[in-house]
Amino acid sequence: MTPQKLITDYIVDVWMDGDADGIEPETPIAELNIIDSVGIFDLVHHLQDEFRITVPVSEVSLKNFRSINSICDLVERLRKEKGGSAA
């Protein structure tokens, strides 16, 4: 399963009651209140567990958590920095 699918599924299951209607890779999830600031920290914890990465507090920003694509970009960058595979 791709990182995009894993992240999308988690967001849909936790914050959208399993209803993926209207969620696209560029949907502004924070701006549409799909996920709030407290939820972002839950998502950070999930990303760290799922992808075995460390998300520094400095990376927890609206820019990095604006959409599923931006979250995927963050995960891929952190995986590469760690020396792991981005796939």
pLDDT in tens, 40-56: 999 999 999 999 999 99
Give the domain ranges of the chain: 3-81
Q: Once rounded to an integer, what is the mean pLDDT over residues 24-45?
A: 93
Closest C-alpha among 34, 47, 45 to residue 7: 47
DSSP 6-61: HHHHHHHHHHSTT--TT--TT--TTTTTSS-HHHHHHHHHHHHHHHT----GGG-S
Query: What's the mean pLDDT when you consider all of the chain?
Result: 92
Encode pLDDT of 54-82 as tens digits.
999 999 999 999 999 999 999 999 999 98
User: Is the pTM above the cut of 0.85?
Assistant: yes
How far apart are alpha carbons 16 and 85 in whole angstroms?
A: 29
For residue 50, give both structure tokens.
């799922």
CATH of region 3-81, choose from 3.40.190.80, 1.10.486.10, 1.10.1200.10, 1.10.357.10: 1.10.1200.10
